[in-house]
Amino acid sequence: MDVLLLGTGASDGVPNAWCGCATCAEARASGSIRTNNSALIDGRLLIDCGPEAPRQAQRAGLELSGVRTVLIGHAHDDHLDPAFLMHRGWVSEVPLQVVGPAPAIARCTDWLAPDQSVVTFTTVTAGDELMLDGYRARVLPATHHALGEAVLYAIEAPDGRHLLYATDTGPWRSALLTAVTGTRFDLVLLEETFGDAEPPNGVHHCFTTFAAAVDDLRSIGAVDDRTRVVAVHVGHNNPTHDELVRRLAELGAEVHPDLTLLRV
Ligand SMILES: [Zn+2]
Ligand SMILES: [Zn+2]
Ligand SMILES: [Zn+2]
């Protein structure tokens, strides 16, 4: 399974365009910009499609015509800019399945002609399981909300590799841990939005809750020493680059820039 990190940033990205903190200043000076979180799996499965995800694929030199499925975690605009459906509709008659919780699907429908049949929508809720273009996707409960339900995804690729895509979320719901017990993940993409700052309302992770979330997965065997844990949805409250890498390494996790390809 090849996982291309199209974007690794929180909703405002790094740098936040309006901020002069050390993390933002460093990112601005180095040109290492984190755009909205999104991952492209094997060129076929796109998870989250915020306003910058399609353009990020262009920066990687990739046409998205191989994508047959788009999974949306929740309705927040950094994870879903439905204009991609209109842009795709101008050039493609190839079927596409868009999957997400009800509030996300509701945001999509206005962006397609009423009589079109190229794009199909599948509304999911936590606990659902479905086959998508050869990938087994399990829908998991996020500790987050966006006009209603927000979900995470466990993906099993045709090659048998397992990915946990876990953003946006605060500390796990017990139903999530129950659902993933018995699965060993090869790759965990886990949000770490706030660094040393306190996440508002407990719907995102900071270093402390990120560490606890990884420990929870380790305690049920979902994460072991061969699992790569990668922090994503990184916000500017995090420390500057070298310190961020060091702090996450202490937690057994990695962090990478946008457009990093992870070969699992
Ligand atoms: Zn987000
Ligand atoms: Zn900042
Ligand atoms: Zn969100």
Asked if residue 241 lies in contact with residue 17, where contact means CB atoms within 8 angstroms, the answer is no
Strand order in the sheet with 151-156: 129-132, 135-141, 151-156, 162-166, 187-191, 228-232, 254-255
Long-range CB contact pairs, 160-163, < 8 A, 24+: 161/1, 161/186, 161/187, 161/264, 162/186, 162/187, 163/1, 163/3, 163/41, 163/187, 163/188, 163/189, 163/264
Q: Cα Rg for the chain, rounded, in angstroms?
A: 17
Give the DSSP per-residue string, 209-236: HHHHHHHHHHHTTSS-TT-EEEEESB-T
CA of 93 to the centre of ligand 1 (A): 30
111: left (phi over 0), alpha (psi -120 to 50) or beta: alpha
- Minimum-distance ligand to the CA of 35? 1
In order of 89, 109, 152, the CA distances from 82 in angstroms are 11, 8, 19
User: What pLDDT score was predicted for residue 53?
Assistant: 98
CA of 89 to the centre of ligand 1 (A): 26
Tokens 């796109």 sit at which residue?
Answer: 46
**Residue 59 lies in domain:** 2-263
User: What pLDDT score was predicted for residue 98?
Assistant: 98
The Cα–Cα gap between 177 and 226 comes to: 19
Total domain count, the chain: 1
Encode pLDDT of 174-219 as tens digits. 999 999 999 999 999 999 999 999 999 999 999 999 999 999 999 9
Question: Taking ligand 2, which is a single-atom ion, which protein residues have CB atoms under 5 Å away?
Answer: 16, 19, 21, 24, 236
Residue 54 sits in a domain whose CATH number is 3.60.15.10
In this prediction the pTM is 0.98
Spell out, as residue ranges, where the chain has pLDDT lower than 50: none
Does residue 19 sit in helix, strand or coil?
coil
User: What pLDDT score was predicted for residue 88?
Assistant: 97
Tokens 């993940």 sit at which residue?
Answer: 185
User: What pLDDT score was predicted for residue 108?
Assistant: 97
CA of 115 to the centre of ligand 1 (A): 32
- Bond prior to 114 in cis (omega within 30° of 0): no
Contacts (Cβ under 8 Å, ≥6 apart) of 34: 7, 8, 9, 10, 13, 14, 27, 234, 257, 258
CA of 211 to the centre of ligand 1 (A): 19
Contacts (Cβ under 8 Å, ≥6 apart) of 183: 154, 162, 222
CA of 76 to the centre of ligand 3 (A): 5
User: What pLDDT score was predicted for residue 74?
Assistant: 98
Does residue 107 sit in helix, strand or coil?
helix
